[in-house]
Structure 1
Amino acid sequence: MSEPIAAVVVRAAELTARGLPQRAVELLRPALAANPLHAEAWCRLAAAHLDAGEPDPALEAAKRALVLPGDQSWAQRLTSLALGELGRHAEALVAARECVRREPGDWRCLVVLAEALAGAGELREAVEVARGATGLAPTEARAHQVLGDAALRVRDWGTAERAYRTALRLDPGADDVRANLATARRKRGGPAPAPVAVHALVQPVLSRLAALLVAGGLVLLLAALPRPTPLLGWFAAALVAGCVAVVARLLVRDGVRRALPPLLRRRPLTAAVAVLFGLAVLVLAGWSVALLLGATTTQPLVLAWLCSLVGGAVVVLRGR
């Protein structure tokens, strides 16, 4: 019985690829009635329903596949897509995260997770996850399209334009991508991104700086007891370089440098955190140089760590 159902699954996949999902559904239904334990056929049926714009039966079929032995990541992807189509974004996100947990190296799982994150309003993480998908599958147009969609929603016009251009080069017939590329180009030539959109990019940078400076400063404080050595100067310099790299990655984004001053004027708390972290980095840099020249004091390190701790506390509390 396994050979006939396998042949049906192959024919259903061909029909779906030709734009005939309803015929694939009609082919799979009777086959599954006779072979209800074939997980791949249930997944193929769910995919056909999704292509036909029928999320309810797609979800039902995907759930049937989930309780059977087989490709669980495919079933989780289909479940997440169906839930997203039904507007159940929180559940879609849970299914997508489970898919990535099972297959962290599968770019398709990352694409589904990026779409679920965007549907749930987690736009910053959606961009990063989609970027990871393009890294795993640089020749897949779908991965670049999802990155462009996520970047478009956070008003990162440059990233969106580059992603859409790549997607079009890989799949020149994608008219929706062409339209979104035109939108990204038009927006990129317009005014700078709004401060709220830039804040969506600044916030994760502040979180990373807080983690680096607080954790790194604590390690340096412990290592400096009872007396710091010149070797610690190199570690402090490496910490400073890491912080500079995090900030530089933000500043190279299109429009960010123009939008940062109005953002800091409108959000004094963000500006205060940026000043604290900047002071911490400057003091750390000076202390590392002093250590390499023979100094043995830890007072600058304590000052830098306290600035980092206060700034980090503000970042955590503001995030909550």
Structure 2
Amino acid sequence: MSEPITAVLVRAAELTAKGLPYKAIDLLRPVLAVNPRHAQAWCELAAALLDVDQPDPALSAAKRALVLDGDHSWAQRLAALALSELGRHREAVVSARECVRRKPGDWRCLVVLADVLAAAPDGRREAVAVAREATRLAPEQARTFQVLGDAALRVGDWDTAEHAYRTSLRLDPENEDVRANLATAWRKRGGKPTASPAHESLTKAHALLWSALTRLAALLAAGDLLLLLAGMPKPTPALAYLAAGLVGACAVTVLTVLFRARRGTRRALLAVPLHRPKVALAGVAFTASTTILVVWTAGLFLGATTMQPLVLSWIFAVLGGAVVVLSGNHR
């Protein structure tokens, strides 16, 4: 029975993420009627209910999850958000603080605490400090900077708000809410937008390149390793076709970036490594890895039987992958 429930929960989470919370609610209610002691299902239902502006039933669902075995920090976060939506700010802050107490290193708990503090008139200053801590714990998460910008906006700290929103947009260039709030920060400050079209193109090019680098990391590290295992102790000519397939997949990944980029963004692609050292470092590693792989593949077709170049290609792929993984999303 656990597998069908798990599949339903995954589907419900996907529906909520796609902006279809009503469908998620319709999917979850029958599951909970049969399995009323499934804490994660109650949390998924509470999250979907919050998305459709139904904080009262969302709070009830979160409370059901709190008395069951499961991730109580998630239930506390949902309860805090529901209480805040209901105008019960003091209770919301208590619930959010309990979440932070349970998981002090979880940036999501800090984000919720900052969110509910910002909604309470006497908690806005603390909200900025809490949001700053969230950005320190998760500098790769756009949401942490968005909440910091929102909190700073409420206390009139326009410079902090602008910097936070800019960082959030760099991590998630598609977030239109953040873009609108950034414009508000500019307007409140009495200044003018400083983001030029060139800056916008650079941000979009950066996002495209980082997405490609993430895929290349998986392709090259895993592909080279599989080729190493398949070629032991001595590679055969048939292995050359597998290696050529890996080279082709890498080429498609790079060409996809050029295909998706618009004219202005294409020009900005060349400038990204100059402004983003981590992109340049990962790009050099993957270029070296792919070049060695191409040479080794050509050698196999010509009758070579050495595996040493493939080992070197894999090492470069792992180094580039380490830069991508340690840097986080769009950094």
Matched, 1:72 2:39: no
Q: Quote the offset at 1:4 in angstroms.
A: 1.6
Matched residue, 1:40: 40
Q: Quote the offset at 1:137 in angstroms.
A: 0.8
Query: 3-state DSSP class of the match of 1:138?
Result: coil
Matched residue, 2:169: 168
Q: Quote the offset at 1:189 in angstroms.
A: 3.8
How far apart are the structure 2 equivalents of 1:132 and 1:188? 25
Matched residue, 1:181: 182
Matched residue, 1:141: 142
Matched, 1:108 2:108: yes
Q: Quote the offset at 1:139 in angstroms.
A: 1.3
Matched residue, 2:85: 85
Q: Quote the offset at 1:143 in angstroms.
A: 0.7
Structure 1 counterpart of 2:179, which letter? R
Alignment root-mean-square deviation, CA: 1.0
How far apart are the structure 1 equivalents of 2:77 and 2:188? 32
How far apart are the structure 2 equivalents of 1:182 and 1:18? 26
Q: Aligned residues, how many?
A: 190
Note the alpha carbon deviations across 1:212-248, whole angstroms, 9 max, x for none. xxxxxxxxxxxxxxxxxxxxxxxxxxxxxxxxxxxxx
Matched residue, 1:9: 9
Note the alpha carbon deviations across 1:243-299, whole angstroms, 9 max, x for none. xxxxxxxxxxxxxxxxxxxxxxxxxxxxxxxxxxxxxxxxxxxxxxxxxxxxxxxxx
Matched residue, 1:198: none
Structure 2 counterpart of 1:158, which letter? D
Normalised TM-score (structure 1): 0.58
Q: Quote the offset at 1:25 in angstroms.
A: 0.4
How far apart are the structure 2 equivalents of 1:189 and 1:140? 29
Query: 3-state DSSP class of the match of 1:105?
Result: coil
Query: 3-state DSSP class of the match of 1:139?
Result: coil
Q: Percent identity?
A: 75
- In structure 2, list runs of 5 or more residues that go unmatched: 192-331
Structure 2 counterpart of 1:132, which letter? E
How far apart are the structure 1 equivalents of 2:184 and 2:50? 27
How far apart are the structure 2 equivalents of 1:77 and 1:142? 15
| Matching of residues 49-68 of structure 1 within 5 Å | 49-68=49-68
Q: Quote the offset at 1:31 in angstroms.
A: 0.5
Normalised TM-score (structure 2): 0.56
Structure 2 counterpart of 1:162, which letter? H
How far apart are the structure 2 equivalents of 1:34 and 1:4? 12
Structure 2 counterpart of 1:54, which letter? Q
Structure 2 counterpart of 1:153, which letter? R
Moved over 2 A (4+): 186-190
